[in-house]
Amino acid sequence: MERWYGKLLGVIAGALLLRGNPLFGGLVGLIVGHAFDADWFRSPRDNPYRVLGLDAEANQAEIDLAYRRLMSQYHPDRFAGAAPELRRQAETKARAINSAYDRIQQLRKRKDS
C-alpha cells in the first residue's frame, strides 16, 4: 500500500504556515509530503537493493543470484589467511550483504501479504 499521510500532513502544514495564500501553501506542502512519502530524502545506504547491485524491480532469482555471487566474493572464510584489516573489511561487507538480503526478504513478505 502506498503511503499517503505525508501528503495530507504536508497540505495541512503548508496551508497553516502560509495563511496569506493557503492554496500555494497547500501545494508546496503536497509536494514536500510526496517527497517524504516517496523517500526522496532517504539515504542511498538505506536501499538494500543497491547493496546487492540491483533495482527494486528485480525478481527473486536475480536477488538470490546476486546474493550468492557477492557472498562468495566477500565471505570472511576466503580471507582467513589475509591481513586482519582485509578480514575486517570482508566481515563488514558480508554483514551488509546479509542484512540487505534479509531486509529485501522482509519487504517482499510484507508486500505479498
* Same domain, yes or no: 104 and 62: yes
- What percent of the chain lies above the pLDDT cut of 70? 95
Split into its structural domains, the chain has a count of 2
Predicted local confidence at residue 44, as pLDDT: 59
- pTM score, whole prediction: 0.60
CB 37 within 8 A of CB 2: yes
Are 69 and 31 contained in the same domain?
no
**Domain span holding position 10:** 5-37
Do residues 100 and 48 share a domain?
yes
The two counts, helices (H) then strands (E), for the chain are: 5, 0
Task: Read off the CATH number of the domain in which 73 is found.
Answer: 1.10.287.110
Q: Alpha carbon of 64 to those of 68, 101, 105, 106, 113: distances in Å?
A: 6, 8, 10, 14, 21
| Domain identity same for 32 and 61 | no
Across the range 68-95, mean pLDDT stands at 92
Specify whether the backbone of 53 is left (phi greater than 0), alpha (psi in -120 to 50) or beta.
left
| Cell numbers found for residue 47 | 536501499
User: What pLDDT, on a 0 to 100 scale, did the predictor assign at position 12?
Assistant: 87
Question: Do 57 and 9 share a structural domain?
Answer: no
pLDDT in tens, 17-56: 888 888 888 888 888 888 887 777 766 567 888 889 998 8
